[in-house]
């Protein structure tokens, strides 16, 4: 009997240890990639952004070069870029809140919902809080022309995003949208073939926010925000915004229009397609870390979006 109990104890211990291993505790050898974040100048948060909401939870630091955004019982907080952009490279180094953060979302995204409330576009990086058993999750999404169809893909991290700053970046031009983490592409959304109908094309603002998404963020809303652990603070620095800024009097301008500022910084041949190195790195990320794609969700979509077929 004692032997059986000992065996059962060992089995239980092994089960607990395997189920509690976090995704970022696994050891990955990450692929080598070009550092796109080294190609563009950083911008001052205090000069390039305005308060979008929750001003009392926004704290500028280091002479305006970085910012802490907080979520508490009163509200979340967020910033919006002063300029609107038609294509560009957008990046930030972000350190996420530690501890129990179920229901919390930190978002770094482009949107024009303020200008086109009924036909808006979005390009989203959403960082979804953890519930102790599952770590922070990276979710990417694309919306176009007000179509409510979500095009989410979800990934585990290969690091602990709460311990130090990591780069989250969006490359958007007439050829493709690329989502990158620490310069590693994790997703490409091309502007060709069946994808073109769902491709964002109108100028957008850049936002960085933290907010309560209890109704959907963690296991479909099963685990809401627990304000016992508030405030939840995310820290943001090394902001980059390099793109065509639009003339507010001509909001439907394109990047080739003379009313825009300068030349499209991501319109050159180096940004038309991913390099072989980047393709290899993206394949690695998707094989190792992606665990959900809308194109495989037949329970959600009786008819899959056109680009999935």
The catalytic position among 83, 126, 153, 307 is 126
Domain CATH number, residue 212: 2.60.120.200
Q: How confident is the model at residue 17 (pLDDT cuts 50, 70, 90)?
A: very low
Report yes or no: 281 and 184 within 8 Å, Cβ to Cβ: yes
Our count of domains for the chain comes to 1
Residue 205 located in a structural domain: yes
Q: Is 215 noted as a catalytic residue in this protein?
A: no
pLDDT at 261: 53
Residue 1 located in a structural domain: no
Residue pLDDT, tens place only, 196-245 = 778 998 999 999 999 999 998 888 888 899 999 999 999 999 999 999 88
Residue 63 located in a structural domain: yes
Residue 88 located in a structural domain: yes
Mean pLDDT of 177-188: 98
Strands of the chain, DSSP E: 49-53, 58-61, 66-71, 77-81, 85-95, 104-111, 122-128, 137-143, 153-156, 166-172, 176-181, 184-190, 205-212, 232-245, 290-293
Residue pLDDT, tens place only, 60-105 = 999 999 999 999 999 999 999 999 999 999 999 999 999 999 999 9
Sheet of 77-81, strands arranged across = 49-53, 77-81, 205-212, 104-111, 122-128, 137-143, 153-156, 290-293
Q: Is 122 noted as a catalytic residue in this protein?
A: yes
Residue 287 located in a structural domain: yes
Residue 34 located in a structural domain: no
Q: Which range of residues forms the domain containing residue 106?
A: 42-308
Residue 7 located in a structural domain: no
The catalytic position among 83, 122, 188, 307 is 122
């Amino acid at each position: 009997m004692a032997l059986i109990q000992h065996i059962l104890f060992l089995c239980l211990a092994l089960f607990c240890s395997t189920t509690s291993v976090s995704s970022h505790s696994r050891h990955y050898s990450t692929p080598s990639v070009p550092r796109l974040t080294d190609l563009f100048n950083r911008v001052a948060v205090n000069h390039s952004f305005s308060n979008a909401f929750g001003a009392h939870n926004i704290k500028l630091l280091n002479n305006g070069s970085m910012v802490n955004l907080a979520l508490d019982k009163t509200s979340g907080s967020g910033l919006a870029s002063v300029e609107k952009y038609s294509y560009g490279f957008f990046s930030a180094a972000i350190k996420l809140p530690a501890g129990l953060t179920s229901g919390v979302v930190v978002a770094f995204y482009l949107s024009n919902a303020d200008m086109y409330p009924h036909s808006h576009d979005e390009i989203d990086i959403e960082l979804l809080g953890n519930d102790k058993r599952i770590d922070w999750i990276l979710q990417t999404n694309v919306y176009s022309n007000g179509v409510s169809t979500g095009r989410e893909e979800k990934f585990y991290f290969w690091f602990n995003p709460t311990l130090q700053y990591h780069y989250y970046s969006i490359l958007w031009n007439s050829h493709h949208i690329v989502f990158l983490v620490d310069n590693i592409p994790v997703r490409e959304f091309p502007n060709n073939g069946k994808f073109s109908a769902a491709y964002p094309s109108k100028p957008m603002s850049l936002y960085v926010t933290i907010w309560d998404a209890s109704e959907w963020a963690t296991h479909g809303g099963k685990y809401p925000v627990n304000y016992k652990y508030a405030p939840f603070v995310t820290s943001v620095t090394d902001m980059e915004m390099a793109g065509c800024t639009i003339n507010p009097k001509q909001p439907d301008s394109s990047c080739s229009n003379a009313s825009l500022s300068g030349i499209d910084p991501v319109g050159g041949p180096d940004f038309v397609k991913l390099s072989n190195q980047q393709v290899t790195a993206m394949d690695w990320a998707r094989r190792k870390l992606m665990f959900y794609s809308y194109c495989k969700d037949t329970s959600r979509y009786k008819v899959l979006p056109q680009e999935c077929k």
